[in-house]
Structure 1
Amino acid sequence: MSFMNLTEEESYVHSNISCLDNSRKAAYILLYMSVTVVVSLTVCGNLLVIISVCHFKQLQTPTNFLLFSLAMADFLVGVIVMPLYFTMLIEPHSCFGILYCIILDAAGFYLTCISIYNVALIAVDRYIALSNPFHYSMKMTTNITLRIIAILWLYSLIYNMMLLYFNGNIIDIKANIPCGECNVKVNNEWSIIDFIIVFVLPCSMIIILYLKIFTIATKQANKIRSVRKCPQIHNSSMASERKAAKTLGVQVAVFLLCLVPYYVSAFLNEFLRNRYVHLTISIAASLVYLNSSINPIIYALFYPWFQRSFKLILTLRIFGTDSSLLNVLERETNVK
């Protein structure tokens, strides 16, 4: 009788373990499927932006080359950083090698820095174009923009190599890495420097310039309405003002919403060293990388040229003769 009870008890425990393993496998499959969808959206969406700007001659403007640079950084985040980072989150007890951690940390720091300063450059570009359009059209050429982009990528590379090297991470990372950990340790001095250079300065610039852009756009719309008392002009200027405000507002709000939590929590973590703050950093870092997935969605919703070029690419019309000369900037007269 006791033998039968023991057998029943063992089978009950074994069935519970089996159910737990099945539930765990189902959870892993669901998580990896979600990550696959996010990574695919990031890679494909940004690749469409890259192809659009490279292929269509009409889109090869200074502003669009800045969008191209941002899309390239987001594309590399989807190809390199996201798979490594989300795998580490899903498998917290796994042991990751030295090369794994070097690629994840270096690429994450580097591409995030490029994205932040790219958005700042876009703010500068739009402010100059709106405040002094004649000077902008004469001075801001495609070659100058490409040089600025090259300097940005080189500057970000040098800065992040200095950040990693002078913290001793290049040396320390050669030691054994604890399982489940793959984090760069930044000392207090470099934490403050990085917080100011990569977060405070560019984000302050973005906020100030976009506030000025809203002010200039409002003044220009008011001048148009006061000079030409025409209902059609009134409606078109108001529509243009609302559209510009909506596009810029959404871009800046989403960008800051994804960026601010990470840098604030990372800065606090250097002084508090609290496990709850560390957990917040992991969640906030996911938001930073997810911003690379959101950017193409914003382009698709608010940029008609992206919608048209997207259709041309998917229907394979870009392989036709002189397809690079197709008109993808068909602006409606009531929005001009």
Structure 2
Amino acid sequence: TMSFCHNVVNISCVNSSWSNDVRASLYSLMVLIILTTVAGNLIVIISISHFKQLHTPTNWLIHSMATVDFLLGCLVMPYSMVRSVEHCWPFGEVFCKIHTSTDIMLSSASIFHLSFISIDRYYAVCDPLRYKAKISILVIFVMIFISWSIPALFAFGMIFLGLNFKGAEQMYYKHAHGSGSCSVFFSKTPGVLAFMTSFYIPGSIMLYVYYRIYFIAKGQARSINNASQQLQIGLEEKNGISRNKERKAAKTLGIVMGVFLICWCPFFVCTVMDPFLDYTIPPPLNDALIWFGYLNSTFNPMIYAFFYPWFRRALKMILFGKIFQKDSSRCQLFLESNP
């Protein structure tokens, strides 16, 4: 098969060894992932922007994360798709640097948002009386600023200053740079640094915070149960509600953590190990793991939004064009006391 890369630029490109059928299947699958990511996150962005009732500090954090994931779907994934299927990079060296930097920045920013959302949820569940005073719109703004700026400085600094291959220049020119490819490449120290910054630190914060939330929520539910057992008058259903809420919260947290770890852990572990294994991890495996990581951005709107009844109502209104009606932004999506 004639690789599309050969038609675009005359470079010594490793011809895609896959048959046309395999490539067509891969393109179809990746286009589906891209469209789902873009559509899902776009709906979250429109919902939170449009409905006045959703203008809460927490939701602006979710809105910002959806923006990151939306941009990843629009700006990064389509080019990664060509690289993954064709086994080469037909878009030139400068754009390779821009693409790699943007990829690292947006993937890291998405993970940063997840860890800040966990901190926000911690205060909401564990200190509800002081939550509004502690997590003000200013605090949320600072969280959003950190989530965008640190990954941007880190990613663009690393790639454009060539710090990512410090100490492994020969390997870099042989592996990542040669044969017209454009893969994310790290030498030992920068690899460990990237692993710590983009995955280990924000991931550990999430794990610790969700672990705390789970036990505090359990304790709260137990004390409500004990109190209601002492009263035992007409509180049977309240008991059920608290147990239900606790179960639902635990389930949501379990899914959030599970999806995050399943999606990103394999890629980051391979990235940090590769330089120590003399770059023996095959590029197709690395590529597959990057796509696994991207799936986190595909699932984020499903996890965070589809768990909330307000999101389902907003989705219906968007799909049926009801948001174009007069005063639709003032529509009540949920009862104020119970978002």
**Fold-level match, TM-score > 0.5?**
yes
User: What is the CA distance between 1:278 and its match in structure 2?
Assistant: 4.2
Letter of the 1:60 counterpart: H
Kindly tell me: are residues 194 and 276 of structure 1, through their superposed partners in 2, closer, same or farther at Cα, counting changes over 3 Å? closer
User: What is the CA distance between 1:180 and its match in structure 2?
Assistant: 4.9
Corresponding position of 1:61? 56
Report SS of the residue matched to 1:275. Answer: coil
Alpha-carbon distance in 2 for matches of 1:195, 1:110: 13
Alpha-carbon distance in 1 for matches of 2:328, 2:108: 35
Q: Residue 247 of structure 2: which of 242, 245, 252 is its match? A: 242
Q: What 5-or-longer segments of structure 2 have no aligned partner? A: 1-17, 230-234
Alpha-carbon distance in 2 for matches of 1:113, 1:141: 24
Moved more, 207-216 or 186-195: 186-195
User: What is the CA distance between 1:207 and its match in structure 2?
Assistant: 0.5
* 1:125 and 2:120 matched: yes
User: What is the CA distance between 1:323 and its match in structure 2?
Assistant: 1.0
Letter of the 1:216 counterpart: I
Larger radius of gyration: 1
Corresponding position of 1:140? 135
Question: Retained in 2: the 8 A contact 1:56–1:326?
Answer: yes
Letter of the 1:37 counterpart: L
1:227-238 equivalent positions in 2, closer than 5 A: 227-229=227-229, 230-238=235-243
Q: Identity, % of aligned pairs?
A: 34
* 1:280 and 2:289 matched: no
Question: Retained in 2: the 8 A contact 1:114–1:152?
Answer: yes
Alpha-carbon distance in 2 for matches of 1:37, 1:132: 41
- Give a deviation string over 1:53-108, Cα, whole Å, max 9, x none: 11111111121111111111110111011111111111015644113312320111
Corresponding position of 1:208? 208
Runs of 4+ in 1 over 6 A off after TM superposition: 169-176
Normalising to structure 1: TM-score of the pair? 0.85
1:122-271 equivalent positions in 2, closer than 5 A: 122-168=117-163, 177-229=177-229, 230-271=235-276
Letter of the 2:278 counterpart: R
Letter of the 2:225 counterpart: R
* 1:290 and 2:295 matched: yes
User: What is the CA distance between 1:330 and its match in structure 2?
Assistant: 4.3
Letter of the 1:183 counterpart: S
Corresponding position of 2:110? 115
Alpha-carbon distance in 2 for matches of 1:323, 1:174: 56
Report SS of the residue matched to 2:19. Answer: helix
Alpha-carbon distance in 1 for matches of 2:258, 2:45: 23
- Give a deviation string over 1:244-301, Cα, whole Å, max 9, x none: 1111110111011101101101111011024335443222111001111112222454
User: What is the CA distance between 1:213 and its match in structure 2?
Assistant: 0.3
Alpha-carbon distance in 1 for matches of 2:336, 2:19: 52
Q: Residue 70 of structure 2: which of 68, 72, 75 is its match? A: 75
Corresponding position of 1:10? none
Question: Retained in 2: the 8 A contact 1:262–1:288?
Answer: yes
Question: Retained in 2: the 8 A contact 1:268–1:277?
Answer: no
Alpha-carbon distance in 1 for matches of 2:131, 2:23: 52
Alpha-carbon distance in 1 for matches of 2:186, 2:26: 30
Letter of the 2:220 counterpart: Q
Question: Retained in 1: the 8 A contact 2:47–2:311?
Answer: yes
Moved more, 55-64 or 179-188: 179-188
Letter of the 1:52 counterpart: S
* 1:27 and 2:22 matched: yes
Alpha-carbon distance in 2 for matches of 1:185, 1:285: 12
Report SS of the residue matched to 1:259. Answer: helix
Tell me the C-alpha RMSD between the 2 structures. 2.6
Alpha-carbon distance in 2 for matches of 1:256, 1:148: 22
Alpha-carbon distance in 1 for matches of 2:88, 2:61: 40
- Give a deviation string over 1:4-26, Cα, whole Å, max 9, x none: xxxxxxxxxxxxxxxxxxx9333
Question: Retained in 2: the 8 A contact 1:92–1:180?
Answer: no
Letter of the 1:210 counterpart: Y
Question: Retained in 2: the 8 A contact 1:81–1:108?
Answer: yes
Alpha-carbon distance in 2 for matches of 1:94, 1:155: 28
- Give a deviation string over 1:147-180, Cα, whole Å, max 9, x none: 3212321222112222224435699999994335
Corresponding position of 2:313? 308
Q: What 5-or-longer segments of structure 1 have no aligned partner? A: 1-22
Letter of the 2:125 counterpart: L
Moved more, 136-145 or 125-134: 136-145
